[in-house]
Amino acid sequence: MNYYNEIKNELINNEITKKVKDYSKNRSDLSTYYNVGKLLNEAGKQYGEGIINEYSKRLTKELGKGYSVTQLKYIRRFYSVFSKSQSMTDLLTFTHYCAIIWFDDINKINYYIKICIEQNLSVRQLREKIKNKEYERLDNQTKEKLITQKETTVVDFIKNPIAIKNITNKEIISEKVLQKVIIEDLDNFLKELGNSFCYIANEYKIKIGNRYNYIDLLLYNIKFNCYVVVELKVTELKKEHIGQIEVYMNYIDKNLREINQDKTIGIIICKKDNKFIMEYCSDERILAREYQEI
């Protein structure tokens, strides 16, 4: 087989398709690069690794820029990854795939494909999530659910630690400051919690007996149809924090929750988690997450 001519014809046909059928050019790109990657892989096995350098020079000379050694290696890797996986979709561009195909873990690749589709991520947004190690901050139980395609819950995609962008460089010395830092970059904070979270209020006032109390953040999750109480702590998690948020959750359930809504969940965001306390917390709707400034 003349691998070079096959590769050249694939690339030329792709350029023609993109000009004639603009609506399907991304699909054409992915199909072409997959086929070219397969040919590069087979040519490498027959002629050795140096064949990519030779093909790069010839393609650049005959077809123009865009066929560097690096680009051809990306194309070959693209084929290597997705020849073994069914998760490729034309809802992502080749540039999206270039950001994730060098991961050794196919489950990590599949996770980023999933959130790119669900959240309509740009390449820049995808790279930001990778940089912030979003997949690594999911717990092992969530990763297992994704692998086995089991149903997930509202708490599964809440990262640990939660990355908080301190865009004004305030020193976080109190709950008030931490709350202000979160509010100043609320969109990023809600995405750290997962999908479908929306903001209701901060310092949400409730009356318990003769005293007013203030919930640090009150949120709502549209997908899971429930209120979310968030309490902020700049200390290590303490047992009294559990009792406090449980009271707030019960108040919301009694006074705000409608009969068709699920029970309120509680998230305690703290400087340091205390797994021993959480081990003896009987309410599975309560979870603790550390925060980390980025």
pLDDT in tens, 139-166: 999 999 999 999 998 889 999 999 998 8
Question: Is the peptide bond between 161 and the residue preceding it cis, with omega within 30 degrees of 0?
Answer: yes
Question: What pLDDT is attached to residue 243?
Answer: 95
Domain boundary residue among 92, 116, 137?
Answer: 137
Residue 142 lies in a domain: no
Whether 28 and 120 share a structural domain: yes
> Where a domain ends, among 137, 164, 196?
137
Is residue 14 domain-shared with residue 108, that is, in the same domain?
A: yes
192 and 289 part of one domain: yes
Residue segments in the chain with a per-residue pLDDT below the cut of 50? none
Looking up residue 236, the CATH number of its domain turns out to be 3.40.1350.10
The residue range of the domain holding 109 is 3-137
Residue 51 tokens read as 């064949």
Quick one: 90 and 8 in the same domain?
Answer: yes
Same domain for 94 and 221? no
- 143 domain-assigned: no
Statement to judge: residues 188 and 109 lie in one domain: no
> Could you give the residue ranges of the DSSP H alpha helices within the chain?
3-20, 25-47, 51-63, 69-82, 94-98, 106-119, 123-131, 140-148, 175-184, 186-193, 239-255, 275-279
Query: Do 127 and 154 reside in the same domain of the chain?
Result: no
Domain membership flag for residue 144: no
**What is d(CA 260, CA 247) in angstroms, rounded to the nearest whole number?**
21
pLDDT at 39: 96
* Residue labelled with tokens 């999750």: 221
pLDDT value at residue 23: 53
Domain total in the chain: 2
* Residue 33 and residue 106 in one domain: yes
- One domain for residues 130 and 161: no
* 99 and 157, same domain (yes or no): no
263 located within any domain: yes
Question: Same domain, yes or no, for 29 and 112?
Answer: yes
Query: For residue 29, how many C-alpha atoms fall within 13 Å in the half-sphere facing its CB?
Result: 19
Q: Are residues 100 and 57 in the same domain?
A: yes
With beta carbons less than 8 A apart as the criterion, state whether 137 and 160 touch.
yes
